[in-house]
Amino acid sequence: MYIAALDIGGTKTIVAILDENGGILIQESFPSIVERYETHLELCVQAMKRLMHQTELQAEDFAGLGVSLPGIVDNEKGILLYAPYANWKNVEVAGYLSKNLGISRVRCENDVNACAIGEKRFGLGNNYTDFIWMTVSTGVGGAVVEGSKLVRGGLGFAGELGHLKVEYKSPAHCPCGQYGCLEAHGSGTALIRETRKRRLTSPAFAKALDEMGLKPDGAGCAALARAGNTDALDILNQIGTYLGRGISYCINILNTQAVVIGGGVAASLDLLLPSIRVSVQQNAFKQMQDIDIVKTPLGYEAALLGAAALVLEQ
Protein backbone atom coordinates (compact mmCIF):
# COMPACT_ATOMS: atom_id res chain seq x y z
CA MET A 1 0.00 0.00 0.00
CA TYR A 2 1.29 3.43 -0.96
CA ILE A 3 0.30 6.75 0.59
CA ALA A 4 0.94 10.20 -0.81
CA ALA A 5 1.48 12.90 1.81
CA LEU A 6 1.91 16.67 1.92
CA ASP A 7 3.07 18.70 4.90
CA ILE A 8 2.47 22.33 3.99
CA GLY A 9 4.10 24.55 6.59
CA GLY A 10 4.49 28.26 6.96
CA THR A 11 8.08 28.24 5.74
CA LYS A 12 8.67 24.80 4.21
CA THR A 13 6.65 22.12 2.44
CA ILE A 14 7.44 18.41 2.34
CA VAL A 15 6.01 16.10 -0.32
CA ALA A 16 6.46 12.36 0.15
CA ILE A 17 5.40 8.84 -0.66
CA LEU A 18 5.14 6.45 2.30
CA ASP A 19 4.15 2.89 3.05
CA GLU A 20 1.41 1.87 5.47
CA ASN A 21 3.92 1.57 8.34
CA GLY A 22 4.97 5.20 8.04
CA GLY A 23 8.17 4.41 6.19
CA ILE A 24 9.19 7.29 3.94
CA LEU A 25 10.09 5.87 0.55
CA ILE A 26 10.92 9.14 -1.16
CA GLN A 27 10.48 12.82 -0.36
CA GLU A 28 11.15 16.32 -1.61
CA SER A 29 11.06 19.63 0.24
CA PHE A 30 10.97 23.26 -0.86
CA PRO A 31 10.10 26.69 0.57
CA SER A 32 6.41 27.48 0.91
CA ILE A 33 5.18 30.22 -1.42
CA VAL A 34 3.00 32.19 0.96
CA GLU A 35 2.11 35.03 -1.40
CA ARG A 36 -0.19 32.99 -3.67
CA TYR A 37 -1.74 29.68 -2.68
CA GLU A 38 -2.46 28.84 -6.34
CA THR A 39 1.23 28.99 -7.14
CA HIS A 40 2.13 26.92 -4.13
CA LEU A 41 -0.43 24.19 -4.73
CA GLU A 42 0.79 23.88 -8.31
CA LEU A 43 4.35 23.43 -6.99
CA CYS A 44 3.03 20.67 -4.70
CA VAL A 45 1.36 18.93 -7.65
CA GLN A 46 4.50 19.11 -9.77
CA ALA A 47 6.67 17.79 -6.91
CA MET A 48 4.32 14.85 -6.29
CA LYS A 49 4.27 14.04 -9.99
CA ARG A 50 8.09 13.95 -9.95
CA LEU A 51 8.04 11.50 -7.05
CA MET A 52 5.43 9.36 -8.80
CA HIS A 53 7.56 9.32 -11.94
CA GLN A 54 10.69 8.36 -9.99
CA THR A 55 8.90 5.50 -8.22
CA GLU A 56 6.96 4.46 -11.36
CA LEU A 57 3.68 4.73 -9.45
CA GLN A 58 0.33 5.74 -10.89
CA ALA A 59 -2.56 7.53 -9.17
CA GLU A 60 -4.46 4.26 -8.80
CA ASP A 61 -1.57 2.74 -6.83
CA PHE A 62 -2.26 5.06 -3.87
CA ALA A 63 -4.66 4.39 -1.00
CA GLY A 64 -5.03 8.16 -0.83
CA LEU A 65 -3.37 11.50 -0.28
CA GLY A 66 -3.11 13.09 3.17
CA VAL A 67 -2.46 16.80 3.62
CA SER A 68 -1.35 18.63 6.76
CA LEU A 69 -2.26 22.33 6.62
CA PRO A 70 -1.42 25.37 8.78
CA GLY A 71 -4.56 27.04 10.05
CA ILE A 72 -8.27 26.34 10.37
CA VAL A 73 -9.41 23.43 8.25
CA ASP A 74 -12.78 21.99 7.30
CA ASN A 75 -11.56 18.41 7.33
CA GLU A 76 -14.82 16.99 5.97
CA LYS A 77 -14.75 19.13 2.83
CA GLY A 78 -10.99 19.43 2.54
CA ILE A 79 -11.05 23.23 2.63
CA LEU A 80 -8.44 25.45 4.25
CA LEU A 81 -10.70 28.06 5.83
CA TYR A 82 -7.95 30.35 7.03
CA ALA A 83 -4.17 30.41 7.31
CA PRO A 84 -2.04 33.35 8.43
CA TYR A 85 -1.01 34.30 4.90
CA ALA A 86 -2.41 36.80 2.43
CA ASN A 87 -5.28 35.28 0.43
CA TRP A 88 -5.05 31.85 2.09
CA LYS A 89 -8.78 31.73 2.79
CA ASN A 90 -11.42 29.21 1.74
CA VAL A 91 -8.93 27.24 -0.37
CA GLU A 92 -10.38 24.02 -1.81
CA VAL A 93 -7.22 22.02 -1.24
CA ALA A 94 -8.67 18.52 -1.56
CA GLY A 95 -10.56 19.29 -4.77
CA TYR A 96 -7.57 20.93 -6.42
CA LEU A 97 -5.13 18.15 -5.57
CA SER A 98 -7.54 15.37 -6.48
CA LYS A 99 -8.28 16.94 -9.86
CA ASN A 100 -4.64 17.58 -10.74
CA LEU A 101 -3.10 14.37 -9.39
CA GLY A 102 -5.92 11.98 -10.23
CA ILE A 103 -5.99 10.65 -6.65
CA SER A 104 -9.66 10.45 -5.71
CA ARG A 105 -9.22 10.06 -1.95
CA VAL A 106 -7.74 13.20 -0.39
CA ARG A 107 -7.87 13.91 3.35
CA CYS A 108 -6.93 17.31 4.84
CA GLU A 109 -6.34 18.29 8.45
CA ASN A 110 -4.97 21.06 10.63
CA ASP A 111 -1.26 20.46 11.19
CA VAL A 112 -1.37 19.91 14.96
CA ASN A 113 -4.39 17.61 14.69
CA ALA A 114 -2.46 15.70 12.04
CA CYS A 115 0.51 15.41 14.41
CA ALA A 116 -1.74 13.93 17.10
CA ILE A 117 -3.25 11.45 14.64
CA GLY A 118 0.25 10.52 13.47
CA GLU A 119 1.39 10.07 17.07
CA LYS A 120 -1.57 7.82 17.72
CA ARG A 121 -0.71 5.53 14.80
CA PHE A 122 3.07 5.72 14.45
CA GLY A 123 4.35 7.07 17.77
CA LEU A 124 3.38 6.89 21.42
CA GLY A 125 -0.27 6.04 20.75
CA ASN A 126 0.40 2.46 21.81
CA ASN A 127 1.36 3.76 25.26
CA TYR A 128 -1.55 6.15 25.85
CA THR A 129 -5.24 6.26 25.04
CA ASP A 130 -5.56 9.81 26.40
CA PHE A 131 -2.93 12.44 25.62
CA ILE A 132 -2.40 16.03 24.57
CA TRP A 133 -0.19 16.81 21.59
CA MET A 134 1.47 20.20 22.00
CA THR A 135 3.64 21.88 19.42
CA VAL A 136 6.00 24.56 20.72
CA SER A 137 7.60 26.36 17.84
CA THR A 138 6.95 29.80 16.34
CA GLY A 139 3.62 29.55 18.14
CA VAL A 140 1.96 27.07 20.48
CA GLY A 141 -0.67 24.67 19.19
CA GLY A 142 -2.47 21.69 20.62
CA ALA A 143 -4.66 18.70 19.97
CA VAL A 144 -6.53 16.45 22.40
CA VAL A 145 -6.86 12.68 22.11
CA GLU A 146 -9.30 10.85 24.40
CA GLY A 147 -10.10 7.18 24.17
CA SER A 148 -7.67 7.01 21.23
CA LYS A 149 -9.86 9.46 19.29
CA LEU A 150 -9.17 13.06 18.33
CA VAL A 151 -11.44 15.51 20.16
CA ARG A 152 -12.74 18.14 17.73
CA GLY A 153 -15.24 20.01 19.89
CA GLY A 154 -18.61 21.47 18.98
CA LEU A 155 -17.29 23.71 16.19
CA GLY A 156 -14.31 21.54 15.24
CA PHE A 157 -11.58 23.75 16.70
CA ALA A 158 -10.80 22.05 20.03
CA GLY A 159 -7.25 22.13 21.37
CA GLU A 160 -6.26 25.79 20.98
CA LEU A 161 -3.82 25.54 23.87
CA GLY A 162 -1.79 28.49 22.65
CA HIS A 163 -4.55 30.87 23.68
CA LEU A 164 -4.93 29.82 27.28
CA LYS A 165 -4.15 32.85 29.43
CA VAL A 166 -0.98 32.35 31.48
CA GLU A 167 0.08 35.93 32.35
CA TYR A 168 -2.07 38.75 33.76
CA LYS A 169 0.36 41.16 35.46
CA SER A 170 2.54 41.89 32.42
CA PRO A 171 0.76 40.26 29.48
CA ALA A 172 2.49 40.26 26.10
CA HIS A 173 0.57 40.79 22.88
CA CYS A 174 -0.37 37.63 21.01
CA PRO A 175 -0.80 37.32 17.22
CA CYS A 176 -4.44 36.40 17.90
CA GLY A 177 -4.99 40.00 19.03
CA GLN A 178 -5.33 39.31 22.75
CA TYR A 179 -2.81 39.53 25.58
CA GLY A 180 -1.23 37.06 27.99
CA CYS A 181 -1.71 33.93 25.85
CA LEU A 182 0.55 30.91 26.22
CA GLU A 183 1.69 31.51 22.65
CA ALA A 184 2.85 35.00 23.61
CA HIS A 185 4.83 33.76 26.63
CA GLY A 186 5.81 30.12 26.09
CA SER A 187 6.58 29.81 22.38
CA GLY A 188 9.79 29.80 20.40
CA THR A 189 9.00 33.39 19.44
CA ALA A 190 8.78 34.31 23.13
CA LEU A 191 12.09 32.57 23.77
CA ILE A 192 13.77 34.62 21.05
CA ARG A 193 12.20 37.83 22.37
CA GLU A 194 13.37 37.20 25.92
CA THR A 195 16.85 36.17 24.76
CA ARG A 196 17.26 39.40 22.79
CA LYS A 197 15.89 41.45 25.65
CA ARG A 198 18.35 39.86 28.09
CA ARG A 199 21.20 40.51 25.68
CA LEU A 200 20.42 44.23 25.90
CA THR A 201 20.05 44.31 29.68
CA SER A 202 22.82 41.91 30.74
CA PRO A 203 26.37 42.69 29.51
CA ALA A 204 27.56 39.33 30.89
CA PHE A 205 24.93 37.47 28.86
CA ALA A 206 25.79 39.42 25.71
CA LYS A 207 29.48 38.67 26.25
CA ALA A 208 28.79 34.96 26.73
CA LEU A 209 26.85 34.82 23.46
CA ASP A 210 29.63 36.61 21.61
CA GLU A 211 32.41 34.48 23.09
CA MET A 212 30.68 31.27 22.01
CA GLY A 213 29.75 32.71 18.61
CA LEU A 214 26.03 32.23 19.29
CA LYS A 215 23.07 34.11 17.88
CA PRO A 216 20.60 35.72 20.31
CA ASP A 217 17.89 33.16 19.57
CA GLY A 218 16.41 30.02 21.09
CA ALA A 219 19.25 27.77 20.01
CA GLY A 220 21.82 30.21 21.35
CA CYS A 221 20.02 30.47 24.67
CA ALA A 222 19.80 26.68 24.96
CA ALA A 223 23.50 26.27 24.17
CA LEU A 224 24.43 28.75 26.91
CA ALA A 225 22.06 27.02 29.33
CA ARG A 226 23.78 23.70 28.67
CA ALA A 227 27.05 25.44 29.50
CA GLY A 228 25.57 26.52 32.84
CA ASN A 229 24.94 30.19 32.07
CA THR A 230 22.59 31.51 34.76
CA ASP A 231 20.89 34.10 32.53
CA ALA A 232 20.08 31.47 29.91
CA LEU A 233 18.78 29.08 32.53
CA ASP A 234 16.61 31.83 33.96
CA ILE A 235 15.08 32.57 30.54
CA LEU A 236 14.29 28.92 29.95
CA ASN A 237 12.84 28.64 33.44
CA GLN A 238 10.46 31.49 32.57
CA ILE A 239 9.36 29.78 29.36
CA GLY A 240 8.95 26.46 31.16
CA THR A 241 6.89 28.07 33.91
CA TYR A 242 4.40 29.40 31.37
CA LEU A 243 4.25 26.08 29.54
CA GLY A 244 3.63 24.34 32.85
CA ARG A 245 0.73 26.68 33.63
CA GLY A 246 -0.90 25.90 30.32
CA ILE A 247 -0.33 22.18 30.76
CA SER A 248 -1.76 22.27 34.30
CA TYR A 249 -5.04 23.75 33.00
CA CYS A 250 -5.31 20.86 30.56
CA ILE A 251 -4.54 18.36 33.30
CA ASN A 252 -7.25 19.76 35.55
CA ILE A 253 -9.88 19.68 32.84
CA LEU A 254 -8.99 16.49 30.96
CA ASN A 255 -7.15 14.27 33.47
CA THR A 256 -4.93 13.21 30.60
CA GLN A 257 -2.25 10.50 30.78
CA ALA A 258 0.48 12.39 28.96
CA VAL A 259 1.54 15.54 27.15
CA VAL A 260 3.55 14.85 24.01
CA ILE A 261 5.59 17.84 22.85
CA GLY A 262 6.85 18.53 19.34
CA GLY A 263 8.12 21.53 17.41
CA GLY A 264 11.51 23.21 17.40
CA VAL A 265 11.53 24.06 21.11
CA ALA A 266 11.06 20.37 21.95
CA ALA A 267 14.79 19.95 21.32
CA SER A 268 15.31 21.81 24.61
CA LEU A 269 12.63 19.96 26.55
CA ASP A 270 15.19 18.56 29.01
CA LEU A 271 16.12 22.14 29.96
CA LEU A 272 12.48 23.23 30.24
CA LEU A 273 11.12 20.20 32.07
CA PRO A 274 12.23 21.11 35.63
CA SER A 275 10.32 24.41 35.59
CA ILE A 276 7.39 22.81 33.75
CA ARG A 277 7.15 20.25 36.55
CA VAL A 278 7.31 22.89 39.28
CA SER A 279 4.58 24.89 37.57
CA VAL A 280 2.39 21.81 37.17
CA GLN A 281 2.81 21.02 40.88
CA GLN A 282 1.80 24.58 41.76
CA ASN A 283 -1.28 24.68 39.52
CA ALA A 284 -2.63 21.19 38.85
CA PHE A 285 -4.87 19.15 41.15
CA LYS A 286 -2.54 17.04 43.28
CA GLN A 287 -3.99 13.65 42.34
CA MET A 288 -3.53 14.44 38.61
CA GLN A 289 0.00 15.87 38.60
CA ASP A 290 2.00 12.73 37.97
CA ILE A 291 1.66 12.48 34.20
CA ASP A 292 4.23 11.87 31.49
CA ILE A 293 5.55 14.96 29.70
CA VAL A 294 7.64 13.69 26.81
CA LYS A 295 9.11 14.67 23.46
CA THR A 296 7.54 13.08 20.40
CA PRO A 297 9.63 10.32 18.81
CA LEU A 298 8.35 11.38 15.37
CA GLY A 299 10.67 14.40 15.27
CA TYR A 300 10.59 16.89 12.43
CA GLU A 301 8.41 14.61 10.31
CA ALA A 302 5.51 14.47 12.79
CA ALA A 303 3.13 16.45 10.56
CA LEU A 304 4.15 14.50 7.45
CA LEU A 305 3.51 11.19 9.21
CA GLY A 306 0.26 12.66 10.46
CA ALA A 307 -0.76 13.45 6.90
CA ALA A 308 -0.13 9.82 5.96
CA ALA A 309 -2.07 8.62 9.00
CA LEU A 310 -5.11 10.58 7.83
CA VAL A 311 -5.46 8.19 4.91
CA LEU A 312 -5.17 5.14 7.17
CA GLU A 313 -7.58 6.48 9.79
CA GLN A 314 -10.61 6.70 7.51
Query: What angle (nearest 5°) sits at the alpha carbon of residue 136, between those of residues 200 and 267?
Result: 80
Q: Which residues contact 88 (CB under 8 A, 6 or more apart)?
A: 34, 37, 71, 80, 82
Q: What is the pLDDT of residues 135-168, one digit of tens each?
A: 999 899 999 999 999 999 998 889 999 999 999 9
10-residue mean pLDDT profile of the chain (314 residues): values are 94 95 96 88 97 97 96 92 80 96 96 96 95 95 96 90 96 94 96 98 97 96 98 98 98 97 95 98 95 96 97 86
Alpha-carbon distance 106 to 313, whole Å? 12
pLDDT at 9: 87
- Residues 17-56 have pLDDT tens digits of 999 999 999 999 999 988 888 999 999 999 999 999 999 9
How much is the pTM?
0.93
Can you tell me the distance from the alpha carbon of 234 to that of 238, in angstroms, rounded to the nearest whole number?
6
Average pLDDT of the chain to the nearest whole number? 95
> Going from the N-terminus, what domains does the chain have, and what CATH number goes with each?
2-111+304-312 (3.30.420.40), 124-295 (3.30.420.40)
The CB-side HSE value for 62 (13 A sphere, CA atoms) comes to: 28
